[in-house]
Amino acid sequence: MRFRLGNVIFLTLVSFMSLLWILARADDKIKIVTSLPDLADIAKRIGGEKVEVEAIAKGYQDPHFVDPKPSHVLKLIRADLFIHIGLDLEIGWVPPLLEKSRNRKVYYGGQGYINASEGMSLLEIPNVDPAQLRAQGDIHVFGNPHYWLDPENGKIIAENICNKLSVVSPGEAEYFRMNLDTFGAQLDSAMQVWLKKMEPYQNRKIVAYHNSWPYFTSRFNIDVAGFIEPKPGIPPTPKHLVSIIKLIKSENIKVVIISPYFDDKPAKAVANRSDAVVVSFAPSVSAFEEVKSYFDLFDYNLNVLISAFEYFEGSDKKK
Ligand SMILES: [Zn+2]
């Protein structure tokens, strides 16, 4: 009996020690929190098995307007690294979350804080005072913040993450650099496929709901001729919609792109009164079920765009 009791105590101790060991090992990982799922996917590729990554926003949420929640604060309290897009994209939700977390490591300028826009070549930097633009309701006051939608910019984001990870964990710097090189090479070969696919559709004109796509369209040579929003963040007026319908007709535009978080009624109304189709683009990883990675994001958007162009090619041929 005594022997059995000893066995039980021994086994319990072993289980307890194993649990502690597992917890300690889990704790070894660098905890990364990102504002957007696109940054989380890139961070996972660079950090590999050394990191645990979670994103605050979902890919189907408008990145300009996410509701800050206590569960987001909890994530940030435990974070070793925080990565966001910057340029005021997340102005309404990232500053209050960082403040509430009281985590100095990941606060602006902290050793675990990453603004992914560092070193980025920005498009559409306004000449006007940001405060003046903000007063007009514009939400792109420092230049267009949707830079993750060019795969080449994914490399710059990845490099910023690699550099910071190497400071936080210098012993793993070589491992992070190796992952960065692999990611760059994978993007390069995917890019060749994407550019080739888009070759027949160069300089086609489209209309977009929000000005989210200048990085994407300049990479793949598509021309955004107008927007359903009169200014980024300002809902369309009937007068503005009439001018967009005129534009679509005069320029023979066939495609209007929207994102899942916008009201599709104005875009559909415009499309119905012209001869265009409305296509829903994925603005981020996880926007739709099939968009699971940063690579899927471009596969998905290019495929739906090509399908829309092809639809009209097909109907023109039938005529
Ligand atoms: Zn925007």
Q: What is the pLDDT of residues 77-97, one digit of tens each?
A: 999 999 999 999 999 999 999
Q: Give the model's pLDDT for residue 233.
A: 87
Determine the distance separating the centroid of ligand 1 and the alpha carbon of 232, expressed in angstroms. 6
- For range 183-191, the mean pLDDT: 98
Determine the distance separating the centroid of ligand 1 and the alpha carbon of 20, expressed in angstroms. 45
Q: 188 and 258 in one domain?
A: no
pLDDT tens digits along 194-212: 999 999 999 999 999 999 9
Cα gap 34→76, rounded to integer Å: 9
- For range 238-260, the mean pLDDT: 95
Number of structural domains found in the chain: 2
Determine the distance separating the centroid of ligand 1 and the alpha carbon of 83, expressed in angstroms. 18
More confident residue, 39 or 133: 39
Q: Give the model's pLDDT for residue 7.
A: 65
Q: 112 and 92 in one domain?
A: yes
Determine the distance separating the centroid of ligand 1 and the alpha carbon of 10, expressed in angstroms. 60
pLDDT tens digits along 134-165: 888 888 999 999 999 999 999 999 999 999 99
Determine the distance separating the centroid of ligand 1 and the alpha carbon of 227, expressed in angstroms. 12
Determine the distance separating the centroid of ligand 1 and the alpha carbon of 233, expressed in angstroms. 7
Q: Is the pLDDT of residue 20 over 70?
A: no
- For range 224-232, the mean pLDDT: 94
- For range 101-105, the mean pLDDT: 97
For residue 221, the domain's CATH number is: 3.40.50.1980
Q: 209 and 277 in one domain?
A: yes
Q: Is the pLDDT of residue 23 over 80?
A: no
Determine the distance separating the centroid of ligand 1 and the alpha carbon of 90, expressed in angstroms. 10
Q: Which of 193, 227, 254 is the last residue of a domain?
A: 193
- For range 40-46, the mean pLDDT: 98
Q: Is the pLDDT of residue 275 over 60?
A: yes
Determine the distance separating the centroid of ligand 1 and the alpha carbon of 212, expressed in angstroms. 5
Determine the distance separating the centroid of ligand 1 and the alpha carbon of 89, expressed in angstroms. 7
Determine the distance separating the centroid of ligand 1 and the alpha carbon of 147, expressed in angstroms. 10
Cα gap 151→169, rounded to integer Å: 27
Q: 160 and 54 in one domain?
A: yes
Determine the distance separating the centroid of ligand 1 and the alpha carbon of 186, expressed in angstroms. 28
How many percent of the chain have pLDDT more than 90? 83
Q: 99 and 13 in one domain?
A: yes
pLDDT band of 15, cuts 50, 70, 90: low
Q: Give the model's pLDDT for residue 318.
A: 43
Q: Give the model's pLDDT for residue 137.
A: 84
Determine the distance separating the centroid of ligand 1 and the alpha carbon of 25, expressed in angstroms. 40
Q: Give the model's pLDDT for residue 319.
A: 40
Q: 285 and 167 in one domain?
A: no
Q: Is the pLDDT of residue 294 over 90?
A: yes
Residue 227 CB neighbours (<10 A): 20
* 139 to 42, 60, 78, 207: CA distances (angstroms): 25, 19, 30, 19
Q: Give the model's pLDDT for residue 77.
A: 97
- For range 91-107, the mean pLDDT: 97
pLDDT tens digits along 296-306: 999 999 999 99
Q: 180 and 33 in one domain?
A: yes
- HSE value, Cβ hemisphere, 13 Å, CA-based, for 195: 11
- For range 14-34, the mean pLDDT: 68
Determine the distance separating the centroid of ligand 1 and the alpha carbon of 78, expressed in angstroms. 29
Q: 247 and 127 in one domain?
A: no
Q: Give the model's pLDDT for residue 317.
A: 44
- For range 5-15, the mean pLDDT: 59
Determine the distance separating the centroid of ligand 1 and the alpha carbon of 270, expressed in angstroms. 21
Q: 79 and 48 in one domain?
A: yes
Q: Which domain, by its residues, includes 24?
A: 2-193
Q: Give the model's pLDDT for residue 182.
A: 98
Calculate the CA dihedral of residues 117, 119, 125, 130 and round it to 10 degrees. 60
Q: Which of 141, 175, 193 is the last residue of a domain?
A: 193
Q: How far apart are the first and last CA of the chain?
A: 91
Residue 21 CB neighbours (<10 A): 10
Determine the distance separating the centroid of ligand 1 and the alpha carbon of 295, expressed in angstroms. 21
The three-class DSSP label of residue 82 is strand
Q: 179 and 105 in one domain?
A: yes
Q: Which of 177, 193, 209 is the last residue of a domain?
A: 193
Q: Is the pLDDT of residue 180 over 50?
A: yes
Q: 68 and 41 in one domain?
A: yes
Determine the distance separating the centroid of ligand 1 and the alpha carbon of 216, expressed in angstroms. 13
- Tokens of residue 188, six digits: 């390069």
Determine the distance separating the centroid of ligand 1 and the alpha carbon of 67, expressed in angstroms. 16
Determine the distance separating the centroid of ligand 1 and the alpha carbon of 143, expressed in angstroms. 10
Mean residue pLDDT across the chain? 92
Q: 207 and 149 in one domain?
A: no
